[in-house]
C-alpha cells in the first residue's frame, strides 16, 4: 500500500533529525505552526512554493519531499541540491565580475 502522507512523514523525519519544532520550521518559511502540523498529519497539502521553502530550510533537494508524492511530478535530474545551486550561481557571478573588470580595464587601466 502506498503511503498516503509521504510528505508529512518526510517532514516529521527531517524535523526530528534536525531537532526543529513545528514552530521553528513555520517561522523559517513564514507560515503558522498549525500549517506545519496539518502538513505533517496529511490534513493539508503545501503548495510547490512551500515545498521549495522546506527544502531550502532543511538543505535537501526538492525531491526529498516529493518522491512518490501523489499528483506531483518532478523531474529529479533537473533538481540541484542547494550546495550545487549555490556553486553554480557563484561561478556565474564570478564570470560576470570578470567581464565587468575587463570592461573597466579597457576604459581606464587598473594599477
What digits encode the pLDDT tens for the residues 10-22?
Answer: 999 999 999 999 9
| pTM reported for the whole predicted model | 0.58
Query: In the prediction, which pLDDT does 1 show?
Result: 39
Contact 35, 26 (CB under 8 A): yes
Helices in 1-111 by DSSP H: which ranges? 6-18, 22-29, 33-41, 48-58, 63-66, 82-107
Amino acid at each position: 500500500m502506498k503511503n498516503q502522507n509521504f510528505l508529512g512523514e518526510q517532514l516529521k523525519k527531517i524535523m526530528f533529525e534536525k531537532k526543529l519544532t513545528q514552530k521553528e520550521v513555520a517561522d523559517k518559511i513564514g507560515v503558522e505552526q498549525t500549517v506545519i502540523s496539518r502538513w505533517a498529519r496529511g490534513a493539508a497539502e503545501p503548495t510547490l512554493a512551500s515545498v521549495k521553502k522546506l527544502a531550502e530550510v532543511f538543505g535537501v533537494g526538492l525531491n526529498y519531499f516529493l518522491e512518490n508524492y501523489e499528483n506531483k511530478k518532478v523531474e529529479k535530474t533537473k533538481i540541484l541540491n542547494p550546495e550545487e545551486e549555490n556553486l553554480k550561481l557563484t561561478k556565474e557571478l564570478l564570470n560576470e565580475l570578470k567581464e565587468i573588470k575587463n570592461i573597466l580595464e579597457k576604459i581606464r587601466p587598473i594599477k
